[in-house]
């Protein structure tokens, strides 16, 4: 055997133990199959060996406020983590947001970030619930976590939206309650309060013992036989109109102004044309009013000036131009039908404005 061959064999003898050491170190560094994880934290998946088979348990959604130990384990949560979640809950903690779970003992940031997609806070525990649902009640005291609010008697027709928020309304709900109150001229009963769509039946029932409604005034009489109701809207003054339920101080101004522009109402339904009147509010007002169409002021269509015509709410710029131009050409009209034929009004427009038109001779 030559010298080169001996050196080659000697090199292999030294190399083989070195390779054995490297393979042994690599084996020891690799996690056991029982603890090998595809996720960022070991407790998210667990491998249970049944005979020669391995059953992998993968994390599933869970509610930390309601899940018991078995539920958490079945969901794939590590036993130590599950016990920590339950212990904190039994100590009085309520998980309002997902981040509350991160405060439990033994839960690191990396574990929380892995758990977070599977944490499901139930609707009744979340912070975003409507405020008054978070209250539990004992007589006149409402308790919301550690905050105590005492209900006291209050005038619903004078409270602000800020005060309503202290009773459990959200900002939007409180503003709607105040807006609806102003629209109908004030709340006179719990039924009217409950009709506001920002108030549910539970809230109405809860507040009813503490709400002071204005005393119901006896019906005002003009004389021993004639009642103020129904109110004739073409002759009533502001003091009379404001007695109509559903008409407030601001509403009176709009009604009187519109009556002046129209020349009077020929139908009670014209009240609904005002921007502030909703269908619901109009239904409240309608039974309390009547209309004498004989009291309206008419426009002499053949002789009225453009200034007199253009202020009327039913006369558009298009109508005004056609009235002036056609009247100069043909000298006027005798009936509303002629104006329809001349394309001054459509049939719908004519039906609306006809009660205000006079086709008589030139006024003295």
Ordered by start, the domain boundaries in the chain are 42-125, 131-212, 231-295, 299-358
Percent of the chain with pLDDT over 70: 75
Reply yes or no on whether the pLDDT at 80 is more than 80. yes
- Helices then strands (H, E): number in the chain? 15, 11
3-state DSSP call for residue 329?
A: helix
Distance, CA of 66 to chain centre: 29
Q: What is the pLDDT of residue 32?
A: 44
Whether pTM exceeds 0.75: no
**Of 64-68, 112-116, 272-276, 278-282, which gets the smallest average pLDDT?**
278-282
pLDDT band (50, 70, 90) for residue 353: very high
Reply yes or no on whether the pLDDT at 246 is more than 60. yes
Tell me if 42-125 shares its fold with 231-295.
yes
Average pLDDT rounded to a whole number, residues 41-63: 53
Give 132-152 as a 3 state SS string.
Answer: HHHCEEECCEEEECCEEEECC
Q: Which residue pairs from 210-219 have beta carbons closer than 8 angstroms and sit at least 24 positions apart in sequence?
A: 210/140, 210/151, 210/152, 210/153, 210/154, 211/153, 211/154, 211/156, 211/187, 212/153, 212/154, 212/155, 212/156, 213/156, 213/157, 213/187, 213/188, 213/189, 214/155, 214/157, 214/186, 214/188, 216/188
Q: What is the pLDDT of residue 192?
A: 82
Hunting for tokens 């930390």 — which residue is that? 64
Express each pLDDT in 139-178 by its tens digit.
444 444 444 455 677 888 888 888 888 887 888 888 888 8
The DSSP letter of residue 271 is G
Percent of the chain with pLDDT over 90: 23
Average pLDDT rounded to a whole number, residues 116-137: 60
With contact defined as beta carbons under 8 Å apart, do 114 and 41 qualify?
Answer: yes
User: Does domain 231-295 bear CATH number 3.40.50.300?
Assistant: no
Strands 154-155 and 141-144: unpaired
Distance, CA of 206 to chain centre: 21
Alpha helices per DSSP H over the chain: 3-29, 69-74, 79-90, 109-115, 161-166, 171-184, 190-195, 201-207, 238-241, 249-262, 279-285, 306-310, 317-330, 336-341, 347-353
pLDDT band (50, 70, 90) for residue 265: very high
Q: Which CATH class is domain 42-125?
A: mainly alpha
Express each pLDDT in 191-213 by its tens digit.
888 888 788 888 888 888 888 87
């Amino acid at each position: 055997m030559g010298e080169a061959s001996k050196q080659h064999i000697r090199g292999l003898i030294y190399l083989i133990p070195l390779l054995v050491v490297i393979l042994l170190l690599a084996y020891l560094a690799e996690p056991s199959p029982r603890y090998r994880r595809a996720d960022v934290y070991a407790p998210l998946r667990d491998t249970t060996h049944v005979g020669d088979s391995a059953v992998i348990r993968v994390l599933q959604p869970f509610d930390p406020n309601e899940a018991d130990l078995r539920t958490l384990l079945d969901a794939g949560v590590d036993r130590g983590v599950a016990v920590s979640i339950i212990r904190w809950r039994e100590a009085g903690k309520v998980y309002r947001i997902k981040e509350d779970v991160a405060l439990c003992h033994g839960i690191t940031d990396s574990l929380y970030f892995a758990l977070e997609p599977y944490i499901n806070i139930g609707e009744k525990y979340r912070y975003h619930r409507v405020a008054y649902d978070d209250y539990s009640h004992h007589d006149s005291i409402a308790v919301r976590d550690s905050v105590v609010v005492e209900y006291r008697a209050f005038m619903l027709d004078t409270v602000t939206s800020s005060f309503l928020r202290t009773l459990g309304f959200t900002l939007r709900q409180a503003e709607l309650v105040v807006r609806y109150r102003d629209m109908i001229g004030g709340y006179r009963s719990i039924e009217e309060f409950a009709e506001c769509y920002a108030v549910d039946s539970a809230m109405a029932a809860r507040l009813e013992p503490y709400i002071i409604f204005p005393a119901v005034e006896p019906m005002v009489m003009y004389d021993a036989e004639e009642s103020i109701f129904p109110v004739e809207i073409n002759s009533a003054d502001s003091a009379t109109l404001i007695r109509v339920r559903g008409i407030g101080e601001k509403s009176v101004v709009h009604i009187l102004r519109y009556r002046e522009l129209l020349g009077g109402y020929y139908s009670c339904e014209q009240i609904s044309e005002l921007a502030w009147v909703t269908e619901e509010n109009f239904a409240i007002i309608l039974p309390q009013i009547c209309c004498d169409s004989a009291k309206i002021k008419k426009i002499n269509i053949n002789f009225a000036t453009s200034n007199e015509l253009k202020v009327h709410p039913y006369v558009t710029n298009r109508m005004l131009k056609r009235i002036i131009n056609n009247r100069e050409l043909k000298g006027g009209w005798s009936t509303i039908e002629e104006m329809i034929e001349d394309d001054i009004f459509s049939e719908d427009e004519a039906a609306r404005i006809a009660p205000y038109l006079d086709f008589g001779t030139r006024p003295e």
